[in-house]
Amino acid sequence: MATLNLMTRPKKTIGLILAGGKSQRFGQDKALFTVPEIGRPNIQVTTNLLQPFVSQIIVAANSTNSTAIRQLLPATVEIIPDQQPYLAAGPLGGLFAATKQISGEQNYILLPTDYPWLTPQILQRLLAVNDSFVQTAEHNHYTLAHFKTSHQEVAAALAQDQRRLQVFIKQRCRPLIFSTSQAFTNLNTWER
């Protein structure tokens, strides 16, 4: 297995963590949930995984979990709750809130908090391919993506009543195929 050499590459990408979901199928907040064998809340796992690869981390949270998330993360991580007029507008609403803090077009890597088995090697491969999202034999993982966008582009999509992250990502990205899918187990499908 190749060794990761993160010190030699410039970190110009902003990490965006989606942590504002309602977690209705899961039954509790997935960002704050601790997988027993991992031993830390998912938001910490995701933030720690992302930190070496990016210049900045923004967590798109909701009004219910933003205070608890703030207490779990370093002060250098920005916690952004949903923003008007797109409160509770799903992942694209989270992208709207996060990009509102950044001027102009930027390079982002998007991760949800409900994939606690992701590895640094997966992120390194995703970051090596611009405008890509993860695809396995079983699923397209639109919330695992690397792309450029601006707040204006996100706002324009939402203003056109286009609220599905899947559509937004497919318009900008191509699939990056991963043969293994175990690391891409989502907590919605994980058996406790």
Q: 119-135 pLDDT, tens per residue?
A: 999 999 999 999 999 99
pLDDT surpassing 70 at residue 27:
no
**Is 192 a domain residue?**
no
CA distances from 95 to 9, 16, 150, 168, 173 (A): 25, 8, 10, 11, 15
pLDDT band of residue 188 (cuts 50, 70, 90) is: low
Domain count of the fold of the chain: 1
pLDDT surpassing 80 at residue 168:
yes
**Is 9 a domain residue?**
no
CATH of the domain at 84: 3.90.550.10
Residue recorded with tokens 């923004």: 58
Q: 28 or 160: whose pLDDT is higher? A: 160
**Is 8 a domain residue?**
no
- Report the candidate in 125, 124, 131, 166 with the shortest Cα–Cα distance to residue 145: 131
pLDDT surpassing 50 at residue 9:
no
Give the per-residue pLDDT at 186. 73
**Is 48 a domain residue?**
yes
Give the per-residue pLDDT at 26. 60
pLDDT surpassing 60 at residue 178:
yes
**Is 37 a domain residue?**
yes
Q: Is 1 helix (H, G, I), strand (E, B) or coil?
A: coil
Angstrom distance (rounded) from CA 30 to CA 91: 14
Q: Give the whole-number percent of the chain exceeding pLDDT 70.
A: 86
**Is 94 a domain residue?**
yes
Q: What is the pLDDT of residues 62-113, one digit of tens each?
A: 888 899 999 999 999 999 998 888 887 789 999 999 999 898 999 999 999 9
Q: Which domain holds residue 118?
A: 14-176
pLDDT band of residue 51 (cuts 50, 70, 90) is: very high
**Is 79 a domain residue?**
yes
Strand partners, 168: none
Give the per-residue pLDDT at 108. 97
**Is 190 a domain residue?**
no
